Structure 1
């Protein structure tokens, strides 16, 4: 590693400059910011369309994604592509968030007349409140910074960070105003860990049909052990002729009866089963089933509906489903 160049000092200087830019951003959470929130929340019947060129476009894509995942339908449209057909993706009732630090992006400004003719509201996000984009918009969000972290003053650095934070502030403020919940978030993130925890139900992972371990009350213990071994859940249900759950017998119960020297070849399962076991319903959330099993310190769960056995699962099933 070179000993001549002080990498750490330059990195810390970048951090210092960007922090100062963000500290100034607090001054711009003003009435204009409130107006922008009101426009999106109450005056946008359709979607929020985010636009930006170059680095502003990259920031815009992230802002659109954050809005969409927190309850505000939104997507990004490239201004250049909009001028060549993608403007058709924008409908009456939508709101446009146009991003350009200079506020003079020719690609975006060329779209303003069409947007105005279609009565589409425009929120501009720039560093210059006197720019053409700011003056021609229905609402302006200011993201001025004292200086860029780039010593040449050319690469968008501090300004890009400030714009990103302004977008996050808008998205999260709208989330709070809407009363957006974890469950709402999970609906738009079904593939994520949170989605699995909040949307997955026990019926989605339970064993049914031929996979369901069950024996009658007159079955011998040795027959119940064979059922446990074949179905691989470490337990079996004991049911009557109507499929009603009478009890449960687990491999842990087997260890306990062996200590009592009970003859597994002659005794029936009715004599050793656990009556009134812990049960759940198929429509219970998987995470609630996990909490129940942990609270009761059990490794398996029988699922009943209308007093009839319909399924079973164990901790391994929850682990495979990504709930644990």
Structure 2
């Protein structure tokens, strides 16, 4: 029996927020030989809805005319989703359908529509990192966490921006049918294997500002390219030709992150890549990324991704055996 997924759209929605998850569900349905999912697109009024970028999409059903059971209500994002005032008819329709759905999910700034409908009150939620501060300020009852790719709390799922909707949909498929099917879907779509929700939206370079001064851009590249090197503040200060105190101040001003924290996160990213792409034992991964010991590697992974290195490798390993 197919699970019905109702996706809500509106003028100016983000096309990939719809097409990415829709392709995940369609591929799962194909692999399950028609026993997976059926995707219906709904809007306040049926007809042609134009996505951001000008691509027209047909919404066959009006929100208040959706009949029958709804397994998953998926609310997409877009600039209009975070606008204020929100479209009351859209928000009311989402609230009504959410009351009938087994679970509710949003992609990117679709979280604003869930929050406006009161569906995120008291819950931890995420959205595109650019919009996270606005979401938290506008809806103080929502516990906004800008870091994870997706979050599930008490039947309500929210995801980070745009392509994270694919990760969200893969997680929903895994919850329904197991991780093996999610892996097959990911392989079929030629996307990264199902990433754990706790994985950060950001790499180290994305977290840090691009240094304005060329010597610091070179130093940032050196840190990211040489995780096992001596990256202590004294060593980096010598490399920059500065005193330690002055170096620490200027590095933080240039990048927005203290040097010690940048180095730790850069090494964590290096460890993550080794776990994804090699079969190296955990102790070798710890050494090669400059973290030294498996215990340190474990603590870092729990801190940043809320998962152990071993679990991360099992869920995200991409090297062919």
Q: TM-score, normalised by structure 2?
A: 0.31
Indicate the structure (1 or 2) with the bigger Cα radius of gyration.
1
Name which structure has the greater RCO, CA cutoff 8 Å, separation 6+. 1
Q: TM-score, normalised by structure 1?
A: 0.31
